[in-house]
Amino acid sequence: MPAPAAAGIHERKLLSFTAAVEKRLLVWTARRLPAFVTSDRLSALALIGMAAAGLSFAAMRISRWGALGVVVFLTVNWFGDSLDGTLARVRHEERPRYGFYVDHVIDVAGIALLLGGLACSGLTHPTLAVGLLAGYLLVAAESFLATHAAGVFRMSFLGFGPTELRILLAVGTVRAAWDPVATIVGTHTLRLFDLGGMIALAGLLVTFVVSAARNGRALYLAEPLPARL
């Protein structure tokens, strides 16, 4: 098992469907960005993008065209969030502890803003949006603890990482803008985002339980009890 990442050095594991293509695209883009574009500015852009996506969700209560804002600003968030670390590595300006801390503080704040906007959108029940935030925080906390204890930061589960989740959210938002209701089991209907939210919440809880069990077992085996006399 890798050593604990107390110094901020850890192994990043991203095994999502789009990871290989995305990595090549990000490196290609980072090498062509002008000097005034910095990792810190990209991180700030990521947070602004997520906040604006949340506001766009809230605007969908008034107009379906808020969905366009959600898609655009999720793309802005992807650009900033995915490129800030890549740019630092391409320019050999890595600050592992600072970068890890700032990146994930922004992620937590951004998700809270996004789901706050979703709760105000009328697309789903506000309680479900709060449940999704709680589920996300459970998974995030377990991931951060595993990073510190095991030295491995996992960024995907069953082939789904941040980029895949943004794509699913964008597609679902466009679909809900024109028809917010899903038909299930014949004539039974449910709001699309209620259905998607329940599936997402179940996925978050399964991810938490599986990851906690896997990492707990690995750490238990790596640190056996001392032999008793």
Domain definitions of the chain by residue range: 11-222
Distance set, CA 152 to CA 62, 147, 164, 212, 217 (Å):
44, 5, 21, 13, 15
pLDDT at 2: 43
Query: What region, left, alpha or beta, does residue 14 occupy, with left being phi > 0 and alpha being psi -120 to 50 degrees?
Result: beta
pLDDT at 90: 93
Out of 59-73, 99-113, 176-190, 207-221, pick the least confident: 176-190
Of 5 and 55, more confident:
55
pLDDT at 188: 76
pLDDT at 216: 92
Instruction: Work out the average pLDDT over 201-210.
Output: 93
CA atoms within 13 A on the CB side of 21: 5
Quote the CATH superfamily of domain 11-222: CDP-alcohol phosphotransferase transmembrane (TM) domain (1.20.120.1760)
Name the pLDDT band for 4 (thresholds 50, 70, 90): very low
Q: Which percentage of the chain shows pLDDT scores above 90?
A: 65
Instruction: Work out the average pLDDT over 184-188.
Output: 73
pTM of the model: 0.87
Pairing of strands 181-184, 11-13: unpaired
pLDDT at 187: 72
Alpha-carbon span 109 to 78, nearest angstrom: 15
pLDDT at 10: 57
pLDDT at 52: 97
Alpha-carbon span 96 to 153, nearest angstrom: 13
